[in-house]
Each structure stands twice: as C-alpha cells, then as structure tokens.
Amino acid sequence: MKRVLLALILILTPNPAHADSLPDHFILTGSGFGHGVGLSQVGAQGQAMEGKSANQILNYYFPGTQVLSVPDNTNIRVNIAHKVSSALFVVDKAAAIPTTSWSVNSGDGGIAQVPFASSLRFIAGAQGISLAVIAPKAAPQNLPASSLWTINFSGVLTVNTTQGIMNLRYGSIQLRLVGAKIEVTNTMNLHNEYLYGISEIPSRYLQAALQAQVIASRTYALSKVGTIRKECDCNIYSGIYDQNYIGYAKESEKTVGAYWKAAVDTTSVDGGTGLAIYYQGKPISVYFFASSAGTTQKSADVWGSSQPYLVSVPDPWSLDIFLNPYYSHWQRVLIQKDVAAAFNLPDVFSLKIVGRTSTNSAINVDAISSTGKTSELTIGDFKVKLKIPSSWFEIANSN
C-alpha cells in the first residue's frame, strides 16, 4: 500500500523546472523610447523636415486643440536639489555671462554681501541650515543657522550637491529645511528664463520641432505654477518627475544652444504672453516622449484616463533608422539575477507578456520561478526596475 501511495504522489506532484535549465538571461527586442502618449519628439523632427510648422505638428499629435497666445509672465519655483544634506555655491568664472554681484540673506532678513572669489557651503543640521562663507586665504566665516536662506545674484552661479552640478543664471535661489534635509529651489520667470533651461529635445533639431517642444513645455509649466508642493518647496521638479531643466547649460551649448533659445523667443508673442496648447478654452494635459513603435498611444491605454486629444495617431518617423538610430529598433539583454530581483523571486524560469494595448504595447509582465511561483509587474514597474526603453517589445528566453 505504501508503494502505491508513493507512486500516486509522484504522479500527481508537478515537476518543478530544474535549476540547470534556468535561462542565464532574457532577450527583449523592441522599438521606441518613452510612454508613447502625446507629442513624439522624433516625429516632430520628421515632420519639421517635411516642412510642417510647429502649429501643424502640435495639431497632429493633439487633435482638436488650438495653439493660443496666453499670459505667461509669472514666476515658477523649480526644485534643483531634493532632500540633500549640503550644497556648495561658487561663481562660474568660465561663463560667458560674468557674475558681477551676489549676496545671501537668512530667514530673519539679515543680508551678507559675498566676495566674488568666495564660496557658500550650506549644511543641514539639528538647528537649521548652517552657512560658511569660504574666502581664499582666510578662515571660513560661519553664520548662525537658519531654516531659510536666499541667494540673490547677477551672472552665473554653480551649485554642487550629491545630485549633481548645475549652472544657474536667472532669478533667485532658496534653501529651505524640510524635515531634516535641504530643498534647493530656483525661482525665475516662466516666460523665458525657465524655458531657456528646458532640455527635453536636442537643440540641433529644426526650428519647427524646437518650437513645438517649447510650446508643449510652456503649457506643462503653466499647469504647475498654482501649487507649491511642500515636500520639495517647489511648483515643479527639475528632473524626471516633471520635465528636464538643466539651467544655463542648455542655452550655453556650443553653437546649438542659440537654436533652442531662438525657439523660446519665437514662441513668445511679447514680454508677457507666449504660445500654449488649449482645448475648449483650457490648457491641455500635455505629454511628450522621445519615440514610438510607429503609432502613439491613447492615454486611456497607458494611465486609464481618457482625453479627446490624447489619442493614437500614426508616427512612422519614429521607425526611421536615420531619424532614430538608437531606438527605431533596440535590443536589451536582462541578466537572470536582475530579473529575479525585479520580480522578488528566487529565480525566474520564464517571462510572459500579459495583455496588449491597441498599439501592441505590453500592459503587464508575468514571471514564473523554477518552483512554479509566479509574480506580476505592471509595465511601468517592469520598465523602471529593468531600465527598459518602452513598452513595445517581445521577450525571448535564452540559456
């Protein structure tokens, strides 16, 4: 009887995959870069090369909208360093725009003029943000800690934090203690000063494509100026949370920086108004991305919310290898341990795409371990964890 029961157990128990049959890696082949909703930046360049204007490009990718002249002479508060412990400011002596003066004042209103050759080092502490004014061949001048510091300047300053280095030309800079960390913000005029520093598209692109991006970026910024986010002391982040702001580095790019600046100036109707995208009397929810797999996506397919102007339109320019040499077609090799970590599994025996949108982009990805355990990631989590360019791809297992 025991032998019969053992035989039945062996028959009824599924055989797990053997460890030696686990794939060493998985190969993904796909097209496009980004979420695929709204303005295709490669597509904009392709249409510009065909003679289309900025308005025509935007009307194509946002059907039913209008490009209108609207007031934009307002300040925008941009977070340039989030949750940092320290920040160092110095004069950018190599900049074409010389720094003629700068000063710093604390939250209580005290103002200190800063010698040209000095640097300012801010450090977060229990009593607030401490400041040391460091001059050559002199002992640092330490000022009492404050929860808020403001830097006013004329010229170009460089800020150095653990999140990188940025050169700043416009407005004023504030450092505020939020929790136990420093939030560094740059407040400037949205109309042109902020837009001069947006780096969402190569400055070598044709003017019509650059202007389309400026108008889209202005529309995005206008939707953010009404609210201060407490966690960043800002209206808008300078990085991937919003749109990429790199400060003076954009307009000062050798040769091509002037092209981007010209596009900003061209879309400024006068000193207080600029072009933005509207639908039925309101600014649109604007989105843009690098390139698609030949067709843009409906917002409902990607985020679940529908807008009449965020629809799927043909985008053949994204598949042109000359316009889009790196992402018209791409391949990624995913290492076994990285895939297992992404899905929180001991190992991954196979991957499978679960669900496709109307443009054939993936919705979810399932993983099965060697023991039969399963785990599922949304396409957004899958892309972020494994650094996948887009959701348009196929999966092949490889041993």
The mean pLDDT values, 10 residues at a time, for the chain of 399 residues are: 45 51 95 98 98 98 98 97 97 86 84 82 95 86 92 95 97 96 98 97 98 98 94 94 95 96 97 96 95 97 94 98 98 97 97 96 97 96 98 83
Same structural domain, 85 and 20: no
Give me the residue label for tokens 């494994």.
Answer: 386
CB 78 within 8 A of CB 234: yes
Last residue of a domain, one of 227, 257, 282: 282
- Cβ neighbours for 289, distance < 8 A, ≥ 6 positions apart: 33, 34, 35, 36, 37, 38, 39, 40, 41
SS3 state at 101: strand
Residue 296, in any domain of the structure: no
pLDDT of res. 398: 54
**Beta pairing class for 128-134 and 141-146:** antiparallel
Q: What is the DSSP letter of 138?
A: S
Residue 50, in any domain of the structure: no
CB 102 within 8 A of CB 154: yes
Domain that residue 157 falls in: 66-282
How does DSSP assign 301-333, residue by residue?
A: HHHS---TTS---B-GGGG-TTTSTTTSSEEEE
Same structural domain, 184 and 271: yes
Last residue of a domain, one of 248, 282, 316: 282
Residue 53, in any domain of the structure: no
Same structural domain, 203 and 249: yes
Domains contained in the chain, number: 2
pLDDT of res. 2: 47
Same structural domain, 96 and 215: yes
Helix (H) or strand (E) holding 166: strand 164-168
pLDDT of res. 19: 54
Same structural domain, 256 and 107: yes
Q: What are phi and psi of 22, to 5 degrees?
A: -65, 135
Taking alpha carbons only, the member of 37, 28, 29 closest to residue 292 is 37
Token pair for 194 = 């902020």
Same structural domain, 147 and 268: yes
Give me the residue label for tokens 């979420």.
Answer: 35
Same structural domain, 347 and 218: no
pLDDT of res. 13: 47
Residue 40, in any domain of the structure: no
Taking alpha carbons only, the member of 30, 25, 27, 26 closest to residue 393 is 30
Cα–Cα distance for residue pair 201/41, rounded to 1 Å: 7
Last residue of a domain, one of 252, 282, 312: 282
Q: Cα dist. 302→29, 81, 100, 290, 296 in Å?
A: 20, 29, 49, 16, 11
Q: HEC string of 192-257?
A: HHHHHCECCCCCCCCHHHHHHHHHHHHHHHHCCCCCCECCCCECEECCCCCCCECCHHHHCCCCCH
Residue 146, in any domain of the structure: yes
Residue 57, in any domain of the structure: no
Q: What are phi and psi of 9, to 5 degrees?
A: -60, -45
Same structural domain, 276 and 147: yes
Same structural domain, 265 and 205: yes
pLDDT of res. 20: 60
pLDDT of res. 95: 86
Same structural domain, 24 and 88: no
Q: Which amino acid is at 319?
A: L
The number of angstroms, rounded, from the C-alpha of 341 to the middle of its chain's C-alpha atoms is 25
pLDDT of res. 226: 87
Taking alpha carbons only, the member of 251, 197, 256, 255 closest to residue 221 is 197
pLDDT of res. 116: 78
Token pair for 125 = 């502490």
Residue 54, in any domain of the structure: no
The helix, strand and coil proportions of the chain, stated in percent and rounded to the nearest 5, come to 25, 40, 40
Cα–Cα distance for residue pair 46/25, rounded to 1 Å: 36
Same structural domain, 26 and 72: no
Residue 311, in any domain of the structure: no
Same structural domain, 130 and 240: yes
